Structure 1
Amino acid sequence: MGCGTGTVSRILAQWPGVARVLGVDPSPAFITRARSLAQGLSNLSFEQSDGRSLPLNDQSFDVVVAHQVLSHVPQPNQLIAEAFRVLRPKGWFAVFDGDYATATVAIAERDPLETCVHAFRANFVHDAWIVRRLPQLLQAGGFDVQPMRSHGYIEAPEAGYMLTWIDRGTDVLLQAGHIGPETASALKAEARQRNTTRAWFGHIAFASILGRKPAVISAQTRAPKLIL
């Protein structure tokens, strides 16, 4: 679900014993790109579809994966319900997402670059707190929930993708009229100066959780099928 350009889909399609991987995403541009990158993987396909309303049969997959998806989706309960519907009994729903409320590039109290982080998060993350509610959401969706696991992400002393948070957050502030061009240039320059001098720091906490669809089914020997 929400496969994007298919990075995770391609990895899973190459796992031993995986019969089929289907990636779905509402973006036609992402699906076109995903298909072009998946040439040569005969067990991998992509469809343009919203994860909250899948054109798939009930109980047709062994695993559903939502990788950095739920934090960007309005009505995540609908997506969780669809995952439950298309899973076979005893199938697994694997969720990995960012606890974006923890995202920071601050190296001191009242660091000015934090304003850019806040602006990015407010405009590009639908629910920065959803990771903390995942156990309740999956349980409400009918899943037997496993304990969550934590996965830290850190950039230091050089910048990685969080530098784009500064650029895009700064642009949001500029376009909204909250800052002027000079301040916008200064914020971006400060971020690059920290990177150049190897004084950069960035951190986001991530978490994963597994939910299992309950029910007893007859034992069958088959290679697993996955949906991204």
Structure 2
Amino acid sequence: MINYDKSATQAIERSYNTPDIARQRLETLKSLALNVGEHVIDIGCGTGFLVNEMAAVVGESGHLAGVDFSQDMLDVAAQRCDTLPQVTLRQGSAESLPFDDVSFDAASCTQVLLYVPEVESAIAELARVLKPGGRLALIETDWRGLVLNSAHSSLTDRIFNAFDEYVPNANLPARLIPMLKAAGFGAIKVDAIPIINTSNSPANFSAGSLAWTADVAVKSNKVTQDEANQWLADIDSKAAAGEYFFCVNRFLFSAVKL
């Protein structure tokens, strides 16, 4: 698992406060169809946006457990949820959840499994802590489908190929359905949640994502700093000319534990 420090936590906080990701959270909530009094777990809860919103639905008679590998993330989540007695935040790994069997009515897991070396173990843990009939919402991204207006297509490929090597399990969506079935999930449904930006405003998801991906490629020695700067400068010039275009698909997997 990747442990986000304070700087990375601040970047995540900005990214997940964008309208793009707010819409993603609404789709997750709609998929889970939570009820008052239910017990819910959010694996990879980050800075607590979704935990906060789900806690409001289940109310004080329910329970919302947030788990994250990064204590810096949890510190921000604790501030966000400090007035919600129904929220418990725990440090832990998706591969070894610190909860008893059949503890939860519903579970969410957003952009976590790509960082987990043993994906099947993490999905088995999700199944373990869910009650029979428990609902699951998983979100992962397929960066291979990225659409980006860039004058440097080969450089774009090199930068995103570096990201694929940076995480243990990039581009998971195509492989998730058989994994879910093997872990005892059924009623599997998949919905695309496209993120489309036509400007690189800081209020959009893509601005920070592209800068972060370029930084990963430099640190992985897949491109030079000059190449990364050239790539980002071209993207900025496209934006200044009104020619900016970014689109990537995230996929929401809904399932029920049989």
TM range, normalised to the smaller chain? 0.7 to 0.9
CA distance in structure 1 between the aligned counterparts of 2:205 and 2:87, rounded to whole angstroms: 28
Q: Do the aligned partners of 2:188 and 2:253 also contact (CA within 8 Å) in 1?
A: yes
Q: Do the aligned partners of 1:166 and 1:191 also contact (CA within 8 Å) in 2?
A: no
> Whose relative contact order is higher, 1 or 2, with alpha carbons under 8 Å and at least 6 apart?
1
Please list the CA deviations of residues 73-115 of structure 1 after superposition, one character each: whole Å capped at 9, or x if unmatched: 2111111111111111111121122122212323568364444
Quick one: which of 17, 38, 43 aligns to 2:86?
A: 43
Are residues 1:197 and 2:197 paired? no
Give the superposition deviation at 1:4: 0.9
Whichever of the two has the greater Rg, that structure is 1
Provide the residue aligned with 2:153 in structure 1: 110
Aligned residue type for 2:227: T
Give the superposition deviation at 1:5: 1.0
CA distance in structure 2 between the aligned counterparts of 1:171 and 1:64, rounded to whole angstroms: 32
Q: Do the aligned partners of 1:9 and 1:21 also contact (CA within 8 Å) in 2?
A: yes
Q: Do the aligned partners of 1:106 and 1:114 also contact (CA within 8 Å) in 2?
A: no
**So what's the TM-score if we normalise by structure 1?**
0.82
Secondary structure of 1:32's match?
Answer: helix
Aligned residue type for 1:207: F
Q: Do the aligned partners of 2:200 and 2:207 also contact (CA within 8 Å) in 1?
A: no
| Count of matched residue pairs | 213
Give the superposition deviation at 1:185: 2.9
Identity %: 25
CA distance in structure 2 between the aligned counterparts of 1:79 and 1:177, rounded to whole angstroms: 30
Are residues 1:98 and 2:144 paired? no
**So what's the TM-score if we normalise by structure 2?**
0.73
- Cα gap change, 1:140 to 1:191, in 2 (>3 Å): same
- Cα gap change, 1:163 to 1:115, in 2 (>3 Å): farther
Is there any run of 5+ residues in structure 1 with no aligned partner, and where?
215-228
CA distance in structure 1 between the aligned counterparts of 2:220 and 2:238, rounded to whole angstroms: 26
Q: Do the aligned partners of 1:96 and 1:206 also contact (CA within 8 Å) in 2?
A: yes
Provide the residue aligned with 1:163 in structure 2: 207
Matches within 5 A, 1:121-132: 121-123=164-166, 125-132=167-174
Structure with the largest fraction of helix: 2
